[in-house]
Amino acid sequence: MELNPDEYKDVLDRATARSMEWIESIPDRHVAPSANVDAMKRVFGWPQQDDPIDPVDVVDELATLAEPGLMAMPSGRFFGWVIGGTLPAALGADVLVSSWDQNAAMRYASPATAAIEEVAGEWLLDLLGLPSGSDVGFTTGATMGNWTGLAAARAYVLNQVGWDVNTKGLQGAPTVTVLAGAERHASVDLALRYLGFGLPTIVAADAEGRIRVDALRTTMDTVDGPVILCLQAGNLHSGAFDPMREAIEVAHEHGAWVHVDGAFGLWAAASPSLRAQLDGVETADSWATDAHKTLNVPYDCGVAIISRAGVSRAALGAQTSYLIKDGEASDPYDVAPEMSRRARGVPVWAALRQLGRSGVVALVDGLVANAQALASGLSALPDVTVLNDVVFTQVSLYFGSDDRTRAVTAALIADGAVWMSGSKWQGHDILRISVSNWSTDADDVAFSIEAVRRAIESAT
Ligand SMILES: *Cc1c(COP(=O)(O)O)cnc(C)c1O
């Protein structure tokens, strides 16, 4: 067998052509898929054949068969969950990353991707106003970004009381109290579960879902021993930000480590007009964010940032005979969980390079402007209440009653021309909008308001 570059060329040409069919369909296609998983399982569900087939045919078959079961997540009319599309440079870079096929975990083994990711990390710290020199690790998403920050926190706060969690584990360890707001994201609980902590102690939140500093102070005063506080930049339903400076001050007075889940909301820090809402965020100890949401790089890419020197490496770093260090700097595998991974920080570099600093600000401000335009257009429709202060990219809608809200949501999803998610917030069914796509424009906003109007009319 021989590596034949022509074979790759044929496959890549075909993949590009089929990718372009998909991308060209985005502006006009229905957002919702036309086939469900069961239908897709029937389409793909044959036993594997015995003989090899032409790789170009594999790509063709894949593109043709998958198409009905794809959701147009890259569409400017997709507002589901918190997802985001793909900037052109980020997609191109992602294709290069696949072609290069580097295991990006070791600096020595892949100098180019290591350097590009380190520069992307420095640019991120600068854009987000976080302490320069912090460790930056690229993870699959903010769930693992939260895990990484909280793993560092666990090692640090236990070390402060003379317990080495690396060697002794958690059994018999001093009790660590983990505090989190009532409206933390589910992934914080997951990360805590993976770390052996179980559920956090809950601190009450206000009407917008922000942690209440008075409640935090009261709880903190009752706690003895090592403490970790999880804050949130960007509530899933309201977009609201925890009061960072005050909450972090209270926590630090008690010697706590503060971790901020800023999966999408941390990007507000890049915008001069939004940054005040995150005032003091830079005084925390660790942060998680996503690049695959607000920054619009392809899946998957999260970011874990840890400010205290040496902590990530002590908590996460591996030492084995076969890993080769290139100098004193931390390797990618020292600051994030994986020992083998794709160079997922490279599309981050490309997105930031395409946008420039002003482009990042315009991207973030544009998402917020569209969220506010949707909120104001929708609140003019009959029976629509916007439940939250639209301070960022999230809008939560209510249609008079829970039943009615569920009916409108079902009608909207059945129509499929735009996509928004149903959810529950503060005991009520809601319809939630997340504006996370760089390409959403005024036409998409008008079209989407019209789609909700149709859903209101047709809902029974
Ligand atoms: C999306 C999200 C997460 C989880 O991020 P993943 O990238 O899905 O792992 C965590 N916190 C918040 C606030 C989120 O919106």
Residue-wise pLDDT tens digits, 162-210:
999 999 999 999 999 999 999 999 999 999 999 999 999 999 999 999 9
d(CA 332, CA 92): 23
Atom of ligand 1 nearest to the CA of 300: 7
Cα 16 to ligand 1 centroid, rounded to whole Å: 30
| Nearest protein CA to atom 2 of ligand 1, as residue | 263
β-partners of residue 433 are: 395
d(CA 323, CA 238): 45
Which structure tokens are listed for 40?
A: 């897709």
What pLDDT score was predicted for residue 271? Answer: 98
Cα 304 to ligand 1 centroid, rounded to whole Å: 12
Ligand 1 and 241: CB distance under 6 A: no
Enumerate the domain spans of the chain: 5-67, 92-351, 361-458
Ligand 1 and 263: CB distance under 6 A: yes
List per-residue pLDDT tens for the chain, 460 residues long. 889 999 999 999 999 999 999 999 999 999 999 999 999 999 999 999 999 999 999 999 999 999 999 999 999 999 999 999 999 999 999 999 999 999 999 999 999 999 999 999 999 999 999 999 999 999 999 999 999 999 999 999 999 999 999 999 999 999 999 999 999 999 999 999 999 999 999 999 999 999 999 999 999 999 999 999 999 999 999 999 999 999 999 999 999 999 999 999 999 999 999 999 999 999 999 999 999 999 999 999 999 999 998 999 999 998 788 888 888 899 999 999 999 999 999 999 999 999 999 999 999 999 999 999 999 999 999 999 999 999 999 999 999 999 999 999 999 999 999 999 999 999 999 999 999 999 999 999 999 999 999 999 999 7
d(CA 185, CA 293): 15
What pLDDT score was predicted for residue 304? Answer: 98
Which structure tokens are listed for 140?
A: 């699959």
SS3 label, residue 232: strand
Cα 324 to ligand 1 centroid, rounded to whole Å: 33
Cα 235 to ligand 1 centroid, rounded to whole Å: 10
Domain 92-351 belongs in CATH node 3.20.20.70: no
Structural element, H or E, at residue 260: strand 257-261
Ligand 1 and 290: CB distance under 6 A: yes
The CATH class, in words, for 361-458 is alpha beta
Ligand 1 and 261: CB distance under 6 A: yes
DSSP tag of 389 = -
Side-chain-side CA neighbours of 143 within 13 Å: the count stands at: 8
Residue among 136, 127, 95 nearest 297 (CA): 95
Q: Residue 424 corresponds to which amino acid?
A: K
What pLDDT score was predicted for residue 321? Answer: 80
Antiparallel, parallel or unpaired: β 302-306 and 135-139: antiparallel
Cα 3 to ligand 1 centroid, rounded to whole Å: 40
Atom of ligand 1 nearest to the CA of 234: 13
Ligand 1 and 243: CB distance under 6 A: no
d(CA 458, CA 460): 6
| Nearest protein CA to atom 14 of ligand 1, as residue | 263
Cα 64 to ligand 1 centroid, rounded to whole Å: 31
Ligand 1 and 187: CB distance under 6 A: yes
- How many helices, marked H, and strands, marked E, lie in the chain? 15, 11
Cα 141 to ligand 1 centroid, rounded to whole Å: 7
